[in-house]
Copies of this chain bind each other. A is one copy, B any other.
Amino acid sequence: MTEQASPSDRSVSAPIKLLLVDDHPLVRDGIRARFEADELIEVIGEAQNGQQALDFVSQKMPDVVLMDVSMPVMNGLEATQHLRHLYPTMPVLILSMHDSREYIQQLVQTGASGYVLKDVSSDELVRAIQTVYQGGSYFSAGVSQMLFQGQVQASEQKQALTPREETVLRHLAEGSSNKEIARALDISVRTVETHRQNIKQKLDIHTAAGLARYAIEQGLVS
């Protein structure tokens, strides 16, 4: 009978206060609609990008943040980093379409409490939210496998790209050749090649197409 809602008496007291972060109104509407009839979860706010999410959290503290990854202005990865820094205990559940390993690992290392793919059912989403609210971790089927596959060597290698490398990668992913990138950035082709080498080594990707794919998944282009 305390005022403070603790995980164990959640179902009989206040619902879980959820902040919804996704740039697609349709997706937000959908999730909101699903939770409207649900007494365990209450959507107390929506945000269209990471920046709005941070603003909202600073005003009304939600219990859980449900976060899309690819968004304009500030993407889910950055937003999660900030959130983790500002509110270390606030659970962030990632809602994403992508199931690539590098992607997920990066987010988990950043501090996400869970990761669900957008092809989950509503019911599974509810379970995931409840789980992270109670301090646990939740990962969709398939996601967890990937995490534990290459965890050992992956945890220390995945290095962040330097700003310049990111620029080169962006151009590359748009379909430019080394020569074109060199012209655009006004540097030598050899330098572009060097950057490309370093990128490939850091990401452990070995084809131009693979790099393009990675860049797009990261939201670096288009």
Contact = CB atoms under 8 A, between A and B. Distances in A.
Nearest to A209: B212
Q: List the number of copies, as a whole number.
A: 2
Instruction: For chain A, give the interface size range.
Output: 35 or more
Interface string A192-213: 0000000000000111111111
A151 interface: no
A10 interface: no
A109 interface: no
B209 A26 contact: no
A30 B122 CA distance: 10
Contacts of A176: 207, 209
A172 B209 contact: yes
A200 to B, nearest CB: 11
A96 to B, nearest CB: 11
Contacts of A34: 29-30, 33
A153 interface: no
Given A25-B120, A31-B26, A121-B25, A222 B211 contact: no
Nearest to A205: B175
| Residue from A24, A121, A211 having most chain B Cβ neighbours under 10 A | A24
B217 A222 contact: yes
Q: Which 3 A-B pairs have the closest CB atoms?
A: A30-B30, A175-B210, A33-B33
13 contacts: A25-B119, A25-B120, A26-B31, A26-B119, A26-B120, A29-B122, A33-B34, A99-B222, A175-B210, A176-B207, A177-B207, A208-B212, A209-B211
